[in-house]
Amino acid sequence: MVRPLISTPGATTIMIDILQHALIAGLILATLCGPLGALVTWQRMAYYGDTLAHSSLLGLALGLAWQIRLEVAVLLACVTIAVLLFALQRWRNTSLDSLLGILSHSSLALGLVCLSFLDGPAFDLNSFLFGDLLAVMRDDLYLLAGIAVVVLSLLFAFWTPLVAITTNADIAAVEGRPVDALKLLLMLLIAATVAVAMKVVGVLLITAMLIIPASAAGRLARSPEQCALLAIVGGCLAVALGLLSAWHFDSPGGPSVVLGAAVIFLLAQLASQFRRT
Amino acid sequence: MSDSSALLSLHDVSLVHGQQTLLDRVNLSLSARQIMTIIGPNGAGKSTLLHIALGLQKPSSGTVSRQPKLRVGYMPQKLRINPLMPVTVSRFLRMSSQRRMSIKHALARVGISHLADRPLQGLSGGETQRALLARALLCKPQLLALDEPAQGVDITGQTELYELISALRDELGCAVLMVSHDLHWVMAQTDTVICLNQHVCCHGHPSAVSNDPAYLELFGRRHAEALALYQHDHDHRHNMHGEAVDLDTGCHHHHD
C-alpha cells in the first residue's frame, strides 16, 4: 500500500497516478535498455552513449528555441548526431575514442551554455540533467511506448546479425553481413533510447541504465539472449527499487533508479562469485 | 593479371596512410585449390593485404576482384571478445550467416566436439583457434583465408593445427590464402610463397623463393638457411616433431 502525502481521497488517486506513470515509464526504459545495453557493453560503446546523451541537451535548447515538442527535438538531435558520428567513423576509419571524449563534454558544455541563454520561466535544468520521473504524464507514456515498440521490434528482427557483428565484425563481413548498415542501425537505436531515457533518468545518468543492468546480467548469463533478458529483469528491479526509495525517502527519482541498478550489479557480482565456488 | 579462372586477384593494389605507404603495387592471383602463403617481417602489411583481398578494407588504388559468390571462410588473427559477453562455442558457430554444414560436424572435424557448451573466453589458445576454424568451415569454403592461424598455440598444437588445415584443404578442395611464419608449413604444403615487405619482394614456389636474393636480404642468412634446411631434410623434421610430441603427451589427449 502506498503512503499518500495528503490524506484526502482525491490526492491519493493523483499520487497513485503519478507513481503508476513513473513506474510504467521506468519499466519501458528498462525493457529497452536490457538488450540494447548488452550490445553497448559488449562493444564498449559507453562513451558513445555519453556523447549522444550529452548532445541531447543541444536538442533540448533547439526545442525550447523553436518551441517544438521537447522529446521530438531531442530525438531529432540524437539521431542527427548518431548519423554524423557514423559518417565520421567511416571517413576516418579509426576508433573514435578520443574524439568522442572531446565531443561528449564539449557538447554538454555547449548545451548548457545555449540553455542558459534560453532560460524561460517554467524551465528546470535539474529535471533534464537528472530526470524527472515523477513528472511523467500520460502523453509522455504514449510517446515512450511508441518509440519502445519501434526500437524493440528492430532489435528483435536484427538481433542475430547485431550479435554477430558485436562478436567479430570482420568474420561477419566476410560471411556477407552488411556490417556498416547494422552499425548505423545500432547507433540509431541507441539515439532513440537516449531520447526516451532523458525523461526518466536524465542526461547525466542515461549511460548508467544501458551499462549497469547489462554488466550485472553478463556475470550470470550463459548466452547473449539470456543476458539481454536478465538485463531487462535487473533494470525493472532497479526501477522498482528507485521508485520505492523516491516514494519513501523523497530521494530524487532518476539517481535513485541508477543506485538501485548499482545495488543489483553488486548482488549479481556476489551471486556469480558464490556460484563459482 | 586478367586471369578469369582466378578465385581472387589483386591488381596493382596500394594502400597509403598519410605519408606512409603500407602496400605498394601488389599483384597476386589465386586459383582454385592453390595454397598461397604470405610471409614477411612484422609490419610488412601481411594482415592488411589479407583484409584488402577479402574486401574488409579498401585499397587507396588498384583493383581487387573476387569470383562472384565466392564462399570464403575467414579466420582472423585474434578473437577479441568482451569478457562480459556470454557466448558458448556452439552459439558462436550459430552466428554464421551461411551454414552449409552442421555445427556438430564442424566441431567434430576440428576435434572440439567436447567443448560445444564451454564459454568461448575460457578456451586455451589452441582451442580458440580450432573454434575459429570450425566457424570458417561452416560455409564449406572455396577459399580459406587464415591470418596466422597458429598464433598463441604451443609447438605441439601448432603442428597439429597445420596438419588439420592440410587435411581440411584436401577434403574441401578449397584454395588457401594465409599469413604464416611457420617454415614447416611453407616448405611442405605451399604452392606459392609471397614474400612481402610493403611490396612483393619475390614470389614463387618455396624452393625458388628460398634462394632468391631479395628473400635473403629481407630475412637474413640464418633464417634463410633454416628454410633451406627444412626443404632439404624432411626426415629430420619428422624426427624433431616426434620428440616434441613425446615431451608433451600429458596435455595431448584432449585433442583426439
Beta-carbon separation of B87 and A224 below 8 A: yes
Residue B236 — left, alpha, or beta (φ > 0 → left; ψ -120 to 50 → alpha)? alpha
B chain contacts of residue A215, beta-carbon cutoff 8 Å: 84
Contacts of B227 (CB under 8 A, 6+ apart): B183, B186, B187, B206, B210, B219
Residue identified by cell 628454410 is B227
B76 touches chain A (CB under 8 A): yes
Give the Cα separation of B43 and B45 in Å (integer).
Answer: 5
The answer on pLDDT for B47 being more than 80 is yes
ipTM of this model?
A: 0.84
pLDDT digits (tens, 9 = 90+) for A191-234: 999 888 887 888 888 899 999 999 999 989 999 999 999 999 99
Give the Cα separation of A100 and A113 in Å (integer).
Answer: 20
pLDDT digits (tens, 9 = 90+) for B64-123: 999 998 999 999 988 888 888 999 999 999 999 988 999 999 999 999 999 999 999 889
| Residue B88 DSSP label | B
Query: Closest by alpha carbon to A216, among A72, A45, A77, A33?
Result: A33
Give the Cα separation of A36 and A33 in Å (integer).
Answer: 5
B12 contacts B27 by C-beta, under 8 angstroms: yes
Per-residue HEC secondary structure of A155-178 comes to HHHCHHHHHHHHHCHHHHHHCCCC
| Residue B253 DSSP label | G
A175 contacts B97 by C-beta, under 8 angstroms: yes
Weakest mean pLDDT among A144-158, A211-225, B242-256: B242-256
Residue identified by cell 542526461 is A203
Task: Name the residue of chain B whose CA is nearest to A45's CA.
Answer: B82
Weakest mean pLDDT among B177-186, B223-232, B234-243: B234-243
Out of A43, A174, A219, the one facing B72 most closely (by C-beta) is A174
Amino acid symbol at A256: S
Contact pairs from chain A to chain B, CB under 8 Å: 75
Beta-carbon separation of A175 and B88 below 8 A: no
More confident residue, A170 or A94: A170
pLDDT digits (tens, 9 = 90+) for B137-154: 999 999 999 999 988 888
A59 contacts A265 by C-beta, under 8 angstroms: no
The pLDDT confidence band at residue A31, using thresholds 50, 70 and 90, is very high
Would you tell me how many other CB atoms lie within 10 Å of the CB of residue A38? 33
What is the percent of chain B with per-residue pLDDT over 90, rounded to a whole number? 48
The pLDDT confidence band at residue A94, using thresholds 50, 70 and 90, is low
Residue B60 has what pLDDT?
A: 93
The answer on pLDDT for A9 being more than 70 is no
Out of A42, A160, A161, the one facing B85 most closely (by C-beta) is A42
Distance from CA of B51 to the nearest CA of A (A): 9
B8 contacts B30 by C-beta, under 8 angstroms: yes
Cell of B228: 633451406
Weakest mean pLDDT among A13-17, A145-149, B20-24, B219-223: B219-223
A chain contacts of residue B119, beta-carbon cutoff 8 Å: 222
Distance from CA of B72 to the nearest CA of A (A): 7
Q: What predicted TM-score, i.e. pTM, was given to this entire model?
A: 0.85
Task: Calculate mean pLDDT across residues A30-43.
Answer: 94
Task: Calculate mean pLDDT across residues A185-189.
Answer: 93
Distance from CA of B91 to the nearest CA of A (A): 8
The answer on pLDDT for A114 being more than 70 is yes
The pLDDT confidence band at residue A19, using thresholds 50, 70 and 90, is confident
Helix A97-118 / helix A70-92 crossing angle, nearest 10 deg: 150
A chain contacts of residue B135, beta-carbon cutoff 8 Å: 171
Give the Cα separation of A166 and A148 in Å (integer).
Answer: 22
The answer on pLDDT for B251 being more than 50 is no
Instruction: DSSP for B26-51, please give it.
Output: EEEEE-TT-EEEEE--TTSSHHHHHH
Task: Calculate mean pLDDT across residues A64-76.
Answer: 85
The answer on pLDDT for B235 being more than 70 is no
Residue A202 has what pLDDT?
A: 85
| pLDDT, mean over chain B | 82
Task: Calculate mean pLDDT across residues B181-186.
Answer: 72
Out of B81, B97, B139, the one facing A164 most closely (by C-beta) is B97
Out of A167, A174, A214, the one facing B92 most closely (by C-beta) is A167
A181 touches chain B (CB under 8 A): no
Out of B82, B88, B95, the one facing A44 most closely (by C-beta) is B82
Q: Which of A198-207, A244-253, B232-241 is modeled with the greatest confidence?
A: A244-253
Residue B227 has what pLDDT?
A: 56
The pLDDT confidence band at residue B4, using thresholds 50, 70 and 90, is low
Out of A161, A171, A222, the one facing B86 most closely (by C-beta) is A222
Give the Cα separation of A65 and A234 in Å (integer).
Answer: 38
Contacts of A250 (CB under 8 A, 6+ apart): none
The answer on pLDDT for B243 being more than 60 is no
Tell me which of A91, A159, A166, A175 to substitute to probe the interface with B (most B C-beta atoms closer than 10 Å).
A175
Beta-carbon separation of A164 and B88 below 8 A: no
- Buried b / exposed e across A208-224, counting CB within 10 Å, b at 16+? bbbbbbbbbbbbbbebb
B5 touches chain A (CB under 8 A): no
Residue B250 has what pLDDT?
A: 33
Task: Calculate mean pLDDT across residues A80-100.
Answer: 76
B85, β-bridge pairs? none
Residue A205 has what pLDDT?
A: 84
Starting at the edge strand found earlier in the chain, the sheet holding B8-17 runs: B20-30, B8-17, B61-66
Tell me the C-alpha to C-alpha distance, in Å, between residue B184 and each of A98, B56, B149: 43, 29, 14
Give me the helices (H) in chain B, please. 46-54, 89-94, 103-109, 125-137, 155-172, 183-189, 206-209, 213-232, 234-247
The answer on pLDDT for B231 being more than 90 is no
Rg, Å, chain B Cα set: 19
